[in-house]
Structure 1
Amino acid sequence: MQHNKYKHIFFDLDRTLWDFNANSEITLNQLYRDYQLQNIFGSFLFFKSRFEYHNGKLWNAYYQNRIKKEDLMYRRFYLCLKESGADDLDLAKEIAQDFIEISPLQTKTFPKAHEMLQQLKEKGYQLHIITNGFNEVQYKKLTNCELISYFTEIITSEDAGANKPSPLIFEYALQNTGATTSNSLMIGDDLKTDIAGARKSNIDQIYFNSNKTKHNDDVTYEVNELIEITKIL
């Protein structure tokens, strides 16, 4: 059993357990080939860099409730196509649909993710997910990576009606799991959404800083590799 005050451990999914960047690159590569996008973008690296740019900006807009989910899904491709001279909404929507179908089939997780989760489960912790991702995608990711069996509750922003860092999603998570702020711990890679959100809700945090990014944020704990979490817990 656990040897400290924590009982409920909440994990972010993308870029914390599921390697979004690696899995996204595999998916984009397939789309680049399938749709012969070299005719529009000239190189895969250019296509990938433009997708990452627009995807990041649109997710920020989504967190601030400035765009809807459906718009985010296709606009990240539409804007890439449009700025490269292919103003084709139908093509963007086709590519977007394929991305949503192919991406969750990818199974790259961060090193030692399974081993760490198994150890925590064996120690008696209740493990949960809190994700801003979309239901139909996140459940597929968890299933295909064989991560889903570790978790008691999957809390999505769609179900909660709020995105991290809003206190509403953390309140929803506590209610749904029977956890309290004092016996909970949030683990995530994003200082703005995961860490600041948990801190504002009086929940301790572990910042998963896999890139060893320099920062001045106030975090409860920090790790560069997932397996280090087992030394804290």
Structure 2
Amino acid sequence: MKPYRHIFFDLDHTIWDFDKNAEETLHELYGSYNLKEIGVQSPVALIETYTRHNHRLWAQYHLGEITKDELREARFKSTFTELGLSPDSIPADFEDAYVKLCPTKTNLFPHAHETLAYLQDKYTLHLISNGFKDASRLKINGCGLERYFQHIIISEDVGVNKPDPGIFHHAMALAGAIIQESVMIGDSIEADIRGAIGVGMDAIYFNPMRSEKPADVPVQIHHLKELTLIL
């Protein structure tokens, strides 16, 4: 690997285990909202359906095809509709309850803290997230992640999402970094990897699910701890 000086991390699905935290949250809400009584047969069905719709909508959000409000309005409406609920039986405040609870969960990917601590001794670390700013701050602070990062860049504050070149150039300027000495690490092929490559930055694809790697993605890892071997 090149002699980098700055490492930029994604947050959700890269350090903070979004799917595991969402699963815990939905298990709790399934019970507190008595969803079985209104026709949702199991928390497993809720989690699987929500995960599929949420991933689809976040992909659209990364690309600027939908807004934050549209994402939040659609994900549980689509989930409950697919599960057979009529519009008038969908709990009106379910999204709000989810948004309040989920960011308080603290599941990280294995070896996150030790990997970040190791890298912090060798590089200057930064975070670039497309996550919503209030939720992202709760996640970062609740998991004790803020101490690792010199700068935390949230797309809502910048006004553009990854993969827009603007957020990468903003991050470079804020960090006092240059492209040739920087690398982006994230799970999203479009937002993190192709976004970084599009501005000339190296990128490492975090692929814990071992999805097929596209040919234009040069480097991948399956576990965060692998970064201590290659960086």
TM-score, normalisation: structure 2: 0.93
Distance in 1 between residues matched to 2:217 and 2:74, nearest whole Å = 34
Does the CA-based 8 Å contact 2:63-2:163 persist in structure 1? no
Whether 1:204 and 2:202 are equivalent positions in the alignment is yes
CA displacement at 1:67 relative to structure 2 = 2.3
CA displacement at 1:119 relative to structure 2 = 0.7
Whether 1:104 and 2:103 are equivalent positions in the alignment is yes
The equivalent of 1:86 in structure 2 is 86
CA displacement at 1:60 relative to structure 2 = 2.4
The equivalent of 2:174 in structure 1 is 176
1:144-223 equivalent positions in 2, closer than 5 A: 144-223=142-221
CA displacement at 1:90 relative to structure 2 = 7.3
Whether 1:120 and 2:119 are equivalent positions in the alignment is yes
Distance in 2 between residues matched to 1:174 and 1:194, nearest whole Å = 15
Amino acid in structure 2 at the alignment position of 1:107: T
Structure 1, unaligned runs of 5 or more? none
* 1:150–1:89 Cα change, 3 Å: farther
Distance in 2 between residues matched to 1:199 and 1:114, nearest whole Å = 26
Matched positions, count: 229
Distance in 2 between residues matched to 1:207 and 1:60, nearest whole Å = 16
The equivalent of 1:6 in structure 2 is 4
Helix, strand or coil for the counterpart of 1:88?
Answer: helix
Does the CA-based 8 Å contact 1:81-1:88 persist in structure 2? no
1:19-98 equivalent positions in 2, closer than 5 A: 19-39=17-37, 40-83=39-82, 84-88=84-88, 91-92=91-92, 94-98=93-97
The equivalent of 2:223 in structure 1 is 225
Stretch moving more, 95-104 or 208-217: 208-217
Helix, strand or coil for the counterpart of 1:41?
Answer: coil
Deviations 1:168-216 (A, max 9, x none): 1111111111111111110011212111111111001111111222223
1:15 to 13, 16, 35: 13
Distance in 1 between residues matched to 2:31 and 2:150, nearest whole Å = 39
CA displacement at 1:71 relative to structure 2 = 2.5
Distance in 2 between residues matched to 1:229 and 1:4, nearest whole Å = 13
Helix, strand or coil for the counterpart of 2:65?
Answer: coil
Counting aligned pairs with the same residue, the percent is 40
Deviations 1:29-77 (A, max 9, x none): 1111111111221111111122112212222232232322122123211
Helix, strand or coil for the counterpart of 2:16?
Answer: coil
Distance in 2 between residues matched to 1:208 and 1:190, nearest whole Å = 8
CA displacement at 1:4 relative to structure 2 = 5.3
Does the CA-based 8 Å contact 1:78-1:89 persist in structure 2? no
Does the CA-based 8 Å contact 2:19-2:51 persist in structure 1? no
Does the CA-based 8 Å contact 1:13-1:129 persist in structure 2? yes
* 1:156–1:89 Cα change, 3 Å: farther
